[in-house]
Amino acid sequence: MRKYAVVVLFVALCGLKIPVALAQDTTLTIRAIEGLKYDVPRFVVRPGTRVHLTLDNYDDMAHNLVVTLPNSRLRVVNTSLALGDQAVKLNYVPRTPDVVAHTATVDPGKSEKISFVLSQDGIYSYVCTYPGHGFVMYGVIYVTRRPATVPPLDKDPNVAANRKDDMAGHAGHMPDHPYDLKYPAVYRTFMPDSGPASIAVGLTPKQAYCWDAGSCRLRYAWTGGFIDQSDHWDGNGKKPTHVVGDVYFRDQGGFSIRFGTADRLPEVHFKGYKLINRYPEFRYTVNGIEVRELIKPLPTGRGLVRHFSLGAVSGPVYFACKSGDGVKYRPSVGKIQDGMVRLPVGTRNFTITMTAE
Amino acid sequence: MKTTTTSLIGTRMTRIGRIKRILIYLFLSVLSVSSAFPSKNFPADTITDYYEVETIQMPKGLTAETDGLAIMPDGRIVAGFHRGEIMMYNPKTKTWKLFAEGIHDPLGIMAVSNSEILVMQRPELTRIKDTNGDGVADEYLTVTDDFGLSGNYHEFAFGPVKDKQGNLFIALNCASNGAGIFPEVRGKLDTLGRPGRMYSAVPYRGWIMKLTPDGKLHPYASGFRSPNSIGFDANGNLFASDNQGDWLGTSKLYHVQEGKHYGHPASLLWKEGFPHITPIKLPVKMLDSLRTVESVAFPHSRIADSPTQPVLDNTGGRFGPFVGKMLVGEMNHPYLVRLMLETVDGHIQGACAPFLVGSGLRKGNNRLAFAADGSLWIGQTDHGWAGDRGIQHVRWKGKVPLELADMKLTPTGFALTFTQPLDAVTAKQVANFQFKRYYYEYHEAYGSKQFDVQPVAVSNAELSADGKTVTLKLSELKAGYIYELELGKLRSTTQQSLLNHLVCYTLNRLQRNTQANP
């Protein structure tokens, strides 16, 4: 069989893959991706084209790909659900004339290539008939000589709903919650450039910080917005949350509080937080001594005021505030020397004011 | 698509409501005959004659991927959702109220008091409390975070459940090679734990942990892949369900005991005294010898693709005839799974069967909780996989359906006990009991086909004097196989028809006095 070099045009705006018009053979790869989706929502071929299709499973569960005749996708899916004990052996594919071609069950990380010819004009489907997948995981093949007649992606009734959402942008006009978010706002989420047990706090809609509950410390702060969690909320949560705005402070020095000596990092444990007028007051222990930390925005300008309360400490207490992390430090007590404040003995409450440079 | 489904269900529910009213009149008129379906010409009964499913109206604007769900002492339903909301539903007023915000996947909730809950979220087990009585939580205190977190999306955390001694148990999911880990992790990173489809690169992924009342978290049992979730039976035995995948030929339910290993090798890296190697590099035979097998295997696509929380029917009979037994949720099918367990040769094993098929229950049945009135609340999610979203509420309507109530192994076959006395003619026909047996292989590849599938002939069916128990003699009984039974068109003497026909018994062990060829 002769093979033609195939150029695949990707029309980004409408998400349409149109193989070159004169080709009698066409080759494409469709990935099964997380969230019960094929990465290609639809494609167009001319009648009589031989399609060499590879299903590449990028997901963490098994999938197949079944090409079905026009108007038969749901029938095939429902028939596949009735296969009973034959299902696994048949790769969840019913033996009916509705099925044009199909792969076997493709395990995560594996791929399989199939070839088939669609000679008649029509709107065909490809669908995963693995149990539970068929009603959401599918795509559409337009077999036509007139690709211009294909509707725009967001108006295409044949494309899977979960693919249309993606193309229409993040959640569109859907609200995040059944209420308007109030500030200060606290989210436990996967934050970039921090430990996996982090807390995003929006002080105002335009001022925010990231606090790491694993290492019990402020990691960075930004202005201009809060966070965008739509990627993280989508599917099974693989992607981290995004910071919205400009980061002006990023901690460089590690954990700030030192007991006894200035150079020894203490052992810390996160104990939770209490909301005070919606501001979280973090609680943690440092070498067994309880510390509370409440962070507020500067009344004007970019910066934070960090209020600390300490349990009873014997011996000196230091607070590291190295320069070069984007802010100027001003302690309420003591003086900064070599990037370190030595607190007066017996200090139980103090503030550190951080002003963006 | 979701809207269409909902509206269809809505229509069906209305219709069922109307039929129900008609049925009630009919029942009232025939009560003196004392049988539910007295006429042979009466239309066949269905599950909706016995159970009703109410779909709860969710708050507008909520993405109702229901993570955790529990019942508060005052009867309110508390539910946690994927976007971090924890909300309370008052079933009397049918209103929702926000209790807490910003939780990272609250997959488990336990009520402590009317103002306090424990929540298992990704990073911590957290005590969330309303301290000033305004109905909104203001305190989020860490109960334990003494386990690793790599930043991999699949490191879900499940539980907590509490035993009679006051210990809490939580279950930690393995990471998935569908994604990597964060540059910074919490806990000790061990790169020997990275290879494999589902992996454990920080402690104690793939373990069930025990939190003693002194606040210390102890590794309890290993070998879990995706233990969503855990629960106790009537005797205080802890069970965990686990999901088909690598090293799980099919989904399973384990009886979890301290110190034991249940087969997914990744977690062995964190076992005290275990050699410091990548566990999946050990020979399969050796790994096989280290594991304790499941109490119940759920045949894939036949019974369950993705089983969830086991829950005990402790309603004292207010949820129907299955009191004292456990139910397990299921993600990919619009039903629950009912368990019939027994102890054979000192080990728990038994049968599973679909339950509430055709009742109007949706898919995605992730969390189950019995309320004080004996009704069942079910939280549903898809979380990027198969499933539905929202909450449904199931009530028993008071009449006993014809169902298999219990399945027990005998030295020569099985004894099946039904909820109603059976019509003797059909119950004694061996053709009404079609058995086959097969097993799933323990191996690294994802899932397994069925091996050594063989029909097993029934040579004799005897009906007990009370008509409720059929004792079947099988041509062969072999340990290490699943016995799948397809029941025929059995009827009760009350002219009810058998609702569910499929049951699968996991035969790990034979009775001590079993003969090789009964």
pLDDT for B251-261, tens place per residue? 999 999 999 99
pLDDT for B356-382, tens place per residue? 999 999 999 999 999 999 999 999 998
Report which residue type is found at A215.
S
Task: Show residues of chain B in contact with A276, CB under 8 Å.
Answer: 138
Confidence category of residue B243, pLDDT binned at 50, 70, 90: very high
CB contact under 8 A, B446 and A87: no
- pLDDT of B16 reads 46
Q: Which of A127, A174, A238 to mutate to test the interface with B (most CBs of B within 10 A)?
A: A238
Task: Show residues of chain B in contact with A274, CB under 8 Å.
Answer: 138-141
Same domain, A109 and A237: no
pLDDT for B7-36, tens place per residue? 344 344 444 444 444 444 444 433 333 344
- pLDDT of B10 reads 39
B518: pLDDT strictly greater than 50: no
Tokens of B227: 């233990």
Over residues A277-298, mean pLDDT: 97
Same domain, A197 and A227: yes
CB contact under 8 A, B178 and A175: no
Task: Show residues of chain A in contact with B182, CB under 8 Å.
Answer: 190, 195-196
Q: Which of A177, A195, A213 sits opposite B85 (nearest CB)?
A: A177
Same domain, A140 and A284: no
- pLDDT of A172 reads 46
Domain final position from A107, A136, A167: A167
Note whether residue A44 is domain-resident: yes
Q: How big is the A-B interface in CB pairs under 8 Å?
A: 177
Q: Which of B121, B127, B332 sits opposite A188 (nearest CB)?
A: B121
Residue with the two structure tokens 């100027």: A328
Which of these, B88, B145, B148, B150, lies nearest to B120 by C-alpha position? Answer: B145
Note whether residue A254 is domain-resident: yes
- pLDDT of A163 reads 79
Same domain, A80 and A193: no
Q: How far is residue A56's CA from residue A103's CA, in Å, rounded to a whole number?
A: 11
B81 has which bridge partners?
Answer: B66
Q: How far is residue A25's CA from residue A117's CA, in Å, rounded to a whole number?
A: 9
Task: Show residues of chain A in contact with B153, CB under 8 Å.
Answer: 190, 236-238
Tokens of B222: 């290993």
Q: What is the CATH number of domain B58-318?
A: 2.120.10.30
Confidence category of residue B151, pLDDT binned at 50, 70, 90: very high
A1: pLDDT strictly greater than 50: no
- Domain of A192 in residue numbering reads as 185-356
Note whether residue A111 is domain-resident: yes
Same domain, A161 and A194: no
Note whether residue A3 is domain-resident: no
B59: closest chain A residue by CA = A178
Note whether residue A345 is domain-resident: yes
Q: Which of A85, A174, A186 sits opposite B102 (nearest CB)?
A: A186
CB contact under 8 A, A275 and B142: no
Confidence category of residue B115, pLDDT binned at 50, 70, 90: very high
Q: Are B304 and B289 in contact (CB under 8 A)?
A: no
CB contact under 8 A, A88 and B387: no
pTM beyond 0.90, yes or no: no
Task: Show residues of chain B in contact with A199, CB under 8 Å.
Answer: 102
Task: Show residues of chain B in contact with A177, CB under 8 Å.
Answer: 61-62, 83, 85, 101
Note whether residue A177 is domain-resident: no
A164 contacts chain B (CB < 8 A): no
Q: How far is residue A186's CA from residue A208's CA, in Å, rounded to a whole number?
A: 10
Confidence category of residue A19, pLDDT binned at 50, 70, 90: very low
Residue A189 to chain B, least CA–CA distance (Å) = 6
pLDDT for B300-330, tens place per residue? 999 999 999 999 999 999 999 999 999 999 9
Q: B-contacting residues of A 298-357, CB under 8 Å?
A: none
Over residues B46-72, mean pLDDT: 96
Encode A78-98: b = buried (16+ Cβ within 10 Å), e = exposed: ebbbebebebbeebbbbeeeb
Q: Which of A137-151, B118-132, B211-225 has the lowest mean pLDDT?
A: A137-151
Domain at A47, CATH number: 2.60.40.420
A61 contacts chain B (CB < 8 A): yes
- pLDDT of A15 reads 44
A18: pLDDT strictly greater than 60: no
Note whether residue A65 is domain-resident: yes
Same domain, A132 and A193: no
Q: How far is residue B248's CA from residue B238's CA, in Å, rounded to a whole number?
A: 20
A108 contacts chain B (CB < 8 A): yes
Task: Show residues of chain A in contact with B179, CB under 8 Å.
Answer: 238
A104 contacts chain B (CB < 8 A): no
Encode A8-32: b = buried (16+ Cβ within 10 Å), e = exposed: eeeeeebbbbbbeeebebbbeebbb
Same domain, A158 and A79: yes
A3: pLDDT strictly greater than 50: no
Q: How far is residue B194's CA from residue B175's CA, in Å, rounded to a whole number?
A: 9
A153 contacts chain B (CB < 8 A): no
Same domain, A135 and A273: no
A90 contacts chain B (CB < 8 A): no
Over residues B403-424, mean pLDDT: 98
- pLDDT of B384 reads 75
Total number of domains in chain A:
2
Same domain, A199 and A324: yes
CB contact under 8 A, B139 and A274: yes
Q: Which of A236, A270, A271, A281 to mutate to test the interface with B (most CBs of B within 10 A)?
A: A236
Helices (H), A131-268: 161-167, 230-233
- pLDDT of A81 reads 86
Same domain, A159 and A190: no
- What ipTM does the predicted assembly reach? 0.89
Over residues B42-57, mean pLDDT: 91
Q: How far is residue A29's CA from residue A178's CA, in Å, rounded to a whole number?
A: 40
Same domain, A219 and A104: no
Note whether residue A214 is domain-resident: yes
A36: closest chain B residue by CA = B385
Same domain, A251 and A329: yes
Task: Show residues of chain B in contact with A214, CB under 8 Å.
Answer: 123, 145, 149, 184, 186
B462: pLDDT strictly greater than 80: yes
User: CA neighbours within 13 Å on the CB side: how many for B429?
Assistant: 11
Over residues A65-77, mean pLDDT: 95
**For chain B, which residues make up each domain, given as ranges?**
1-32, 58-318, 404-507
Q: Are B479 and B509 in contact (CB under 8 A)?
A: yes
Which of these, A88, A150, A13, lies nearest to B244 by C-alpha position? Answer: A88
Helices (H), chain A: 73-81, 161-167, 230-233
Architecture of domain B404-507: Sandwich (2.60)
pLDDT for B173-204, tens place per residue? 999 998 999 999 999 999 999 999 999 999 99
